[in-house]
Amino acid sequence: MTQPLRIGLIGYGFMGKAHANAYSKVGHFFPELRHRPVLQAVCAREPEKLGRFAETWGFAHTETDWRALVARPDIDAVDICVPNNLHRPIALAAAAAGKAILCEKPLAMDAAEAEEMVAAVERAGVATMVWYNYRRLPAVTLAKQLIADGRLGQPFHYRASFLQDWTISADVPQGGAALWRLDAAAAGSGVTGDLLAHCFDTALWLNGPIASLVATTETFVKERMHQEHGRIEPVGIDDACMVLVRFANGSMGTFESTRYARGHKALKTFEMNGADGSLAFDLHDSQYLDLFEYRAKQTGQKVEDQLAGWRRIHVTNFEHPYMDHWWVPGLTIGYEHSFVHAVADFLRGLESGTLVEPTFRTALETQKVCDAVLQSARSNAWVTLAR
């Protein structure tokens, strides 16, 4: 017997579409799950576009005020896909209404807001998940499994980047639909919260907590027209950010993010080097994980020098994470599937009673790292993260 989980989606931009697609697909590809998402209601401000979105994706109802959506008794889970400055009020209201909450990243504008949200959801005892979707690409989950299995040995280095180039033109406005990511009042920060947050979430998951860091940021375009009222306003976000970190496990890390890397659209990479091996991932080749084994886990022996080398694992076998739910070995999946996996894991978590990661509490740690980055960039000094 399947059990419906009635979703109330708030926001229908790029992320709203990714989530709606995931809810639609999950039951087909993960039929063993008891809970089935039902596209119950979607909320946004523009009625005409909203109606079209609801019709396209099959939502039963629409609302133009998020408060009305949260208050609906026929909604079990609220999905927050709106600009970051609305995450906190919606999450607090949804927690008070006893709804499960799925929230786009970053969790909040800053760690203080995130703390308040964590307290509210834990007080209410509701299930939460933050959509750090890249964890759920099979190659990234495989990296987690290999590291947890001790294949890399003592970790020395972690390096990550997320590079884009879509804001180089000074003519790109800030604010409003799609461009709220450039408006500090709506986004909280620039690449730090939008892109590095993904890198930090993956890094904390794979390599543990960050103990201290030093960062520098730059805003290359100082003024932009605001899309909502047409006035030229100072730009308050970071366009680029570089960070040096020390992890609690003794390893060192570097992180870089920018929207000014001409030619790069979404170059998200990470590499980790340990005493016994290294691994590397590149989002442009998301079905691959590169592994260098210095010492073979099964035998404990050093790999013969003439055979040592980087191995490219095509992460499409039934044995690989999530892949037994898709096609036959060798056939690939992509970006959208990371969201389907997130929903599947969330539903499985509801069934087992073990909440899926990252919960609001886990995402708070990423938020604290983002805050420390911005604090360090302002003060030009190392920042120690409290534990």
Residues that bind ligand SOE (CB under 6 A): 164, 194, 198, 266
Residue entry with tokens 């299995």: 149
By beta-carbon proximity to ligand SOE, the closer residue of 264 and 295 is 264
Closest CB to ligand SOE among 88 and 198?
198
Q: Taken in order 191, 197, 203, 204, is the CA torsion positive or negative? A: positive
Q: Which is nearer to ligand SOE, 76 or 239 (CB)?
A: 239
Shortest approach of ligand SOE to residue 321 CB, angstroms?
A: 19
Residue among 13 and 236 whose Cβ is closer to ligand SOE = 13
C-beta of 87 vs 151, nearer to ligand SOE: 87
Q: How far is the CB of 112 from ligand SOE (least distance, A)?
A: 22
Q: Residue 9 forms beta bridges with which residues?
A: 42, 79
Nearer to ligand SOE, 70 or 195 (CB): 195
- Between residues 93 and 363, which has the closer beta carbon with respect to ligand SOE? 363
Nearer to ligand SOE, 138 or 277 (CB): 138
Q: How far is the CB of 244 from ligand SOE (least distance, A)?
A: 23
Helices then strands, counting H and E runs in the chain, come out as: 11, 17
Cα–Cα dist 7/15, whole Å: 15
**How far is CA 106 from each of CA 139, 191, 346, 384, rounded to the nearest angstrom?**
22, 11, 18, 21
Angle at which helix 47-57 crosses helix 14-29, to 10 degrees, equals: 20
Q: How far is the CB of 257 from ligand SOE (least distance, A)?
A: 10
CB 197 to ligand SOE: min, Å: 8
CB of 8 vs ligand SOE, minimal distance in Å? 21
| Residue sitting closest to ligand SOE (CB) | 194
> Cis omega before residue 4 (within 30°)?
no
> What SS3 class is residue 132?
coil
Closer CB to ligand SOE, 35 or 341, in the complex:
341
Tell me the closest approach of the beta carbon of residue 288 to ligand SOE, in angstroms.
19
- For the bound state, the minimum distance from the C-beta of residue 186 to ligand SOE, rounded and expressed in Å, comes to 12
Torsion of CA 119, 122, 123, 127, to 10 degrees: 130
For 161, the enclosing helix (H) or strand (E) is strand 155-163
Do the Cβ atoms of 103 and 86 come closer than 8 Å?
no
d(CA 331, CA 13): 29
For the CB of residue 132, give the shortest distance to ligand SOE in the complex, in Å. 9
- DSSP output for 64-99: SSHHHHHH-TT-SEEEE-S-GGGHHHHHHHHHHTT-
Residue pair 374/196 in contact (Cβ under 8 Å)? The answer is no
Residue 191: DSSP 8-state? H
Name the minimum Å distance from CB 164 to ligand SOE. 6
98 burial class (0-12, 13-18, 19+ CB within 10 angstroms)?
exposed
Closer of 266 and 308 to ligand SOE (Cβ): 266
Start-to-end CA span in the chain (Å): 44
